[in-house]
């Protein structure tokens, strides 16, 4: 494995490695046997991923002498329910796993969030291995220890912080991901450049085609993203401060996801984030915080890779602006009337703005609706 990269997440007694490279699914058995003591695990995955990647994983685990009990769930966000949490917990207990054994998540962020939550609570905390198979999961959700499920009150409202013991990101597994899902995950890759790594953003502007094609640049981009996320997580593991910067583009993005009824045919998360980041730059320019050239540069790159960047790019129209504002206020970054947004002074210069007047946002969105 020549292209293998390792990012270490130094969190004291919860420290772990993220391995990034091709063929880590087939090689997982050997890697796990070398690093972790347990000889048993539960593998949680979804039907799409199981059809493509479960076989090679199970073969590799068996060869390494690891006994694995697979559980295949329905794909999609609707699998992050209490019922699914119960199913995963029961599966782990039925497999008679003990604390030193591991729960292994093979899939996108849905499987990772759900399995990580189960691993965090069964037997008061079991070992947890993330094997992210979507780009979003490889650069974002598998790193940092946030786990959880959705309830009828909203997304990700019930969960625990539970860091993985190991993350294995097989970059070749992304070859089977749809182009649209890959692009959506790429929005989060670009986000790390836009937050505080201008050199990385410039590198992406020159290398994004190679990142999409696979190979060494893909490994590089994912490793740089994991490093960026790890740095933020180490500085603020439980999001009491700077971890909020990771929400760049997300207040607008979440509002757009809500306004389109979380209908993935219309908008997937990363697409909402792409539009949200462009809105954050355009709003920052409107507030004379950043230059319009930077907003233009960000939009040009995201549009160039094929992501939506404007409200008018969303098929089927949007509800009136006052409804969008309600969704923005419902997003958790609100305190006493003023809105907290991640704004920017330029590429790689994002900051937390805790005092954004709602009326300014309203007027801005009214203007933005005009195509
Ligand atoms: N914990 C965190 O810090 C964090 C951060 C960001 C997002 N999330 C969560 O992550 C979830 C979204 O993750 P996602 O975008 O990976 O969604 P997902 O898990 O639903 O995966 C997207 C789709 O791609 C399919 N898929 C995954 N890997 C594949 C592969 N290699 N080949 C073919 N198909 C594949 C899945 O079956 C699914 O249909 C959301 O629930 C979100 O809340 C969590
Ligand atoms: Zn996101």
Q: What is the pLDDT of residues 211-257, one digit of tens each?
A: 999 989 999 999 999 999 999 999 999 988 889 999 999 999 999 99
In which residue are the tokens 């039907």 written? 47
Residue 37 pLDDT:
86
- Give me Rg for the CA atoms of the chain: 20
Q: Two tokens at 15?
A: 């420290």
- 75 CA to middle of ligand 1, Å? 9
Adjacency order of strands within the sheet including 338-344: 334-335, 338-344, 350-356
Residue 132 pLDDT:
98
- 96 CA to middle of ligand 2, Å? 35
In the structure, which protein residues have their CB atom closer than 6 angstroms to any atom of ligand 1?
46, 48-49, 52, 75-77, 80, 107-111, 113, 133-134, 136-137, 140-141, 144, 146, 155-156, 173-174, 176-177, 181, 269
pTM above 0.85, yes or no: yes
Question: Is pLDDT above 70 for 332?
Answer: no
Spatial contact of 203 and 176, defined as CB atoms under 8 Å apart? no
**How far from chain centre, in Å, is Cα 141?**
4
* Residues 99, 324: Cα–Cα separation, whole Å: 45
What positions carry a catalytic annotation? 124, 146, 188, 229, 239, 243, 247, 250, 254, 269
CA angle 4/7/10 to nearest 5° reads: 155
Q: Considering Cα of 45, then 50, then 53, then 55, what sign does the dihedral take? A: positive
């Amino acid at each position: 494995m020549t292209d293998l990269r390792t990012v270490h997440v130094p969190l004291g007694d919860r420290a772990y490695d993220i391995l990034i490279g091709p063929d880590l699914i087939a090689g997982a058995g050997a890697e796990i046997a070398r690093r972790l003591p347990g000889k048993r695990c539960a593998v949680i995955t979804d039907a799409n991923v199981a059809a493509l990647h479960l076989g090679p994983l199970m073969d590799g685990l068996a060869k390494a002498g690891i006994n694995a009990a697979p559980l295949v769930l329905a794909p999609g966000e609707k699998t992050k329910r209490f019922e699914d949490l119960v199913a995963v917990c029961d599966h782990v207990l039925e497999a008679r796993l003990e604390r030193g054994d591991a729960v292994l998540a093979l899939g996108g962020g849905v499987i990772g969030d759900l399995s990580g939550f189960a691993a965090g609570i069964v037997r008061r905390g079991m070992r947890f291995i993330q094997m992210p198979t979507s780009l979003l999961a490889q650069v974002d959700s598998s790193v940092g220890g946030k786990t959880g499920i959705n309830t009828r009150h909203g997304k990700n409202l019930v969960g625990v912080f539970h860091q993985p013991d190991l993350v294995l990101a097989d970059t070749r597994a992304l070859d089977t991901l749809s182009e649209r899902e890959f692009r959506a995950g790429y929005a989060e890759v670009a986000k790390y450049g836009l937050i505080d790594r201008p050199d990385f953003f410039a590198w992406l502007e020159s290398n994004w085609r190679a990142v999409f094609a696979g190979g060494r640049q893909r490994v590089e981009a994912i490793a740089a993203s994991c490093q960026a996320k790890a740095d933020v997580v180490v500085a603020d593991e439980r999001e009491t401060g700077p971890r909020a910067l990771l929400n760049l583009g997300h207040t607008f993005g979440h509002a757009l996801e809500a306004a389109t009824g979380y209908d993935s045919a219309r908008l997937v998360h990363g697409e909402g984030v792409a539009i949200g980041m462009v809105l954050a730059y355009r709003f920052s320019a409107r507030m004379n915080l950043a230059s319009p050239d930077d907003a233009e540069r960000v939009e040009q790159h995201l549009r160039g890779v094929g992501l939506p960047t404007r409200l008018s790019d969303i098929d089927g129209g949007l509800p009136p602006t006052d409804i969008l504002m309600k969704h923005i206020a419902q997003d958790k970054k609100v305190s006493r009337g003023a809105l907290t947004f991640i704004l920017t002074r330029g590429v790689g210069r994002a900051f937390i703005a805790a005092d954004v007047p709602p009326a300014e946002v309203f007027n801005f969105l009214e203007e933005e609706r005009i195509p």
